[in-house]
Amino acid sequence: MSAAQQACLAAALVTGYEVLGRGASSVEAVEKTIRVLESSGLFNAGIGSRLQLDSVRRMDASIMEGHRLRAGAVAAIEQIRHPITAARLVMEETEHVLLVGEPATRFARHFKLKLDRQLSPKRTSFKAVRPRQVSGPTQKTLDLYRVMRIRRTVGLETVGAVALDRAGTVAAGASTGGIALMLPGRVGDTPLIGCGVYADNVAGAVSMTGVGEGIIRIAVAKEIADRLAAGASPAAAARSVLKKLVTRIRGAAGALVLAPDGRFTIRHTTPRMAAGYWGGTGKPVVKDKFER
């Protein structure tokens, strides 16, 4: 973790805490915290999102609150500086949970969400071919993926947050630009409720980071929440589910876990995970390695 990333995480924690201090909701605190990270360009989210194999930045985000179990998410959204805000708008302005692709981008633009030139499409140009021909953009992209897929990446810098407000409502959110070398159209765990995020006042709030394919296959966020609801501590719930992720499918992930009574844990199976917490006094605690 660089000094700039450390400072940005600390600033995000202060932002979220101040929102809660004003009596605002945990949803607003989660959104505002993640917006700081999306704006920084220091993480794989917002303006720092990675390019996919066709040289386009497509982003995913989700948010959920634990009182009425409302949730909103976007996947493969383009050009929008704050996908987490688009996800909140899906939750609050529609009856849906997930919007994807160009319609999600149009939805965000309808609400006049801020665009960013750094996120404008820069699609790779290919020679035009007849539809019946095999050798086209899709084939070239697939070939590139096959050549480069051996490069495995962990510590993917998806950003996320969990919060508990004065009313006792928990919330969780996450935002990402995906993973390195991803095929256009690939969607990870971040926008999938129960995989990348989950929040329930009976159980707690969970926000995940890591290799999404493994997180999806175990529905990690929901499984951690279920164990919290059954009486496990945040540390025990996260530890047992992350162990299952590793032993069953050799997955790699990190988790922010917050119980309704304020107990929390930060756990990861990756070598490092940049994260932090703050209780409002002293300086925010920001590290890139927590108990595994």
Cβ neighbours of 244 (radius 10 Å): 14
- Token pair in block for residue 272: 């490092």
Classify strands 98-100 and 71-77 as parallel, antiparallel or unpaired: parallel
Angle, nearest 10°, between helix axes 234-249 and 220-229?
140
Indicate the SS3 state at residue 209. strand
CA angle 150, 151, 153 (to 5 degrees): 135
Q: Which two tokens stand for residue 234?
A: 């945040």
Q: Phi and psi at residue 124, in whole multiples of 5°?
A: -70, 135
Residues 6 or more apart from 130 whose CB is under 8 A from it?
none
Q: Which residue type does 115 have?
A: L
Q: Does the annotation mark 158 as catalytic?
A: yes
Catalytic residue, chosen from 85, 141, 158, 176, is 158
Query: What is the rounded CA–CA span in Å between residue 272 and residue 264?
Result: 18
Q: What is the DSSP track for 120-182? A: S--PPP-----TT-S-SHHHHHHHHHHHHTT--------EEEEEE-TTS-EEEEEEE---TTP
3-state secondary structure of 225: helix
> Which SS3 state, helix, strand or coil, does residue 186 take?
coil
In this structure, what are the phi and psi dihedrals at residue 136, rounded to the nearest 5 degrees? -140, -170
Catalytic residues: 158
